[in-house]
Amino acid sequence: MKTVYVGLSGGVDSSVSALLLKQQGFHVVGVYMKNWSKDLPGMPCPWMDDYQDAKRLTVQLGIEFKMFDFEKQYQRKVVDYMLDEFRAGLTPNPDIMCNQEVKFKLFLDTALEEGADMIATGHYARVVHGKEPKMLVAKDGNKDQTYFLYRISPEALNKTLWPIGELTKPEVRELAKQHGLVTADKKESMGICFVGKVPIKEFLQQFVESKSGAIIDQHGKKVGTHDGAVFYTIGQRHGLDVGGGLPLYVVGKSMDKNEVYVTTDLQDKKLWNNIIKFSSAHWINGEPKNNQKLMVRTRHRAKLIPVKLLNKSSNSMWTAELDEDVKALTPGQSAAFYCSGECIGGGVVSVLTQAA
């Protein structure tokens, strides 16, 4: 009987994953990863509630329960990385870094050291194990999470199970209710991966020094004042506090000048791009072949767009040309590439080129 350590977040998706694994005959051990426990002013961390829900679930299923304390490593690998990227004027994705460094590296290594044969999580994705393992999109296209998983290694992929990848979210909820799981009706957390429902700006304000500066429109005119360029991202419309007139969209910023640039023109070329330059490329089974028909997703739940990889320069910067313009591509965010329903890897957006 194979032993599977399943990461339990205290939510319904990982709960059903543990249920399914037990039904399939695995020796299942539930693990809560303690990654963040700090309370911030006016923002209590919900980790203890999640821990208790995960523990109650294991009692209900009759499986062993463990807690892995990864807080120090998480601070260094995920939180510090995120803060450094924001300070540099970029917009990082901490969920992608969490998957790369914590869930499918630290958690995996710790579980294997303790005698696990494999790990499992409640992600919506599918895996085909083998010499060249494949990560396939989930059955539920609306919940598919392969975008957040594109940096997984082939070694980790071969040691991973995603039990709910063949289910839709409503089917997961229904299974949880049928079996009376304690998390059946628990709402999803839509905030930062490690701080529950805290908006990113409120979180950053606790750690990043900022000062007010000018908001400048497409005509070079100052139209308002911001409270820190670090808090703004390309395409942002809300939170500018510039009253009256047409809606404003952020099209850029200068960290050196502490300026935020906006436009009232939704068709402004600075808002749209069809060329992506990206670095930190990660290909699960090696670089794509020249004749592969590829698609790209530039944010979670964004539609897949046909794309051509043009070249790779000597400094490992890749260039990709999309078949159509995409709004608000943002340096620091990721582009994940797909071929026939398989996520093959991706990279971090570094430079934007205006659409022709």
At 300-326, the pLDDT tens digits run: 999 999 999 987 766 789 999 999 999
- Of 196, 228, 263, the position where a domain reaches its end is 263
pLDDT at 310: 84
Q: Are residues 57 and 168 in the same domain?
A: yes
pLDDT at 290: 80
- Distance, in Å, from the CA atom of 33 to the CA atom of 85, rounded to the nearest integer, reads 24
Residue 202 included in any domain: no
Within 8 A by CB and 6+ apart from 251, the residues are 218, 234, 261, 262, 263, 268, 270, 271
How remote is the C-alpha of 287 from its chain's centroid? 22
Q: Are residues 242 and 286 in the same domain?
A: no
Q: Are residues 100 and 77 in the same domain?
A: yes
Q: Are residues 42 and 156 in the same domain?
A: yes
How remote is the C-alpha of 17 from its chain's centroid? 20
- Distance, in Å, from the CA atom of 126 to the CA atom of 331, rounded to the nearest integer, reads 28
Q: Are residues 31 and 159 in the same domain?
A: yes
pLDDT at 209: 84
Residue 186 included in any domain: no
- Of 241, 263, 285, the position where a domain reaches its end is 263
Q: What are the start-end ranges of the H helices in the chain?
A: 12-23, 47-61, 71-74, 80-87, 94-98, 107-113, 146-149, 154-157, 169-178, 200-204
Residue with tokens 């209900």: 60
The b-or-e profile of 116-135 (16+ CB within 10 A means b, else e) is: bebbbbbbbbbbeeeeebbb
Q: Are residues 234 and 311 in the same domain?
A: no
How remote is the C-alpha of 67 from its chain's centroid? 23
Q: Are residues 22 and 171 in the same domain?
A: yes
- Say if CB 202 and CB 173 are below 8 A apart: no
pLDDT at 196: 55
Angle between helices 169-178 and 12-23 (to 10 degrees): 70
State how beta strands 342-354 and 134-136 pair: antiparallel
- Distance, in Å, from the CA atom of 132 to the CA atom of 26, rounded to the nearest integer, reads 24
Within 8 A by CB and 6+ apart from 113, the residues are none
pLDDT at 102: 96
Residue 219 included in any domain: yes
Residues of the chain with pLDDT under 70: 189-198, 243-244, 313-314, 351-356
Q: How many domains does the chain have?
A: 3
Q: Are residues 240 and 313 in the same domain?
A: no
Q: Are residues 49 and 76 in the same domain?
A: yes
pLDDT at 292: 85
| Predicted structure pTM score | 0.93
Q: Domain range for residue 128? A: 3-178
pLDDT at 353: 59
pLDDT at 344: 98
- Of 162, 178, 194, the position where a domain reaches its end is 178
Q: Which CATH number covers residue 216?
A: 2.30.30.280
Active site amino acids: 98, 193
Residue 70 included in any domain: yes
Q: Are residues 51 and 168 in the same domain?
A: yes
pLDDT at 355: 47
Residue 190 included in any domain: no
pLDDT at 186: 85
Residue 63 included in any domain: yes
pLDDT at 351: 67
Residue 20 included in any domain: yes
Residue 198 included in any domain: no
Q: Are residues 250 and 274 in the same domain?
A: no
pLDDT at 91: 92
Q: Are residues 60 and 174 in the same domain?
A: yes
- Per-residue pLDDT of 135-174, as tens digits, reads 999 999 999 999 999 999 999 999 999 999 999 999 999 9
Cα–Cα nearest to 8, from 100, 98, 154, 123: 123
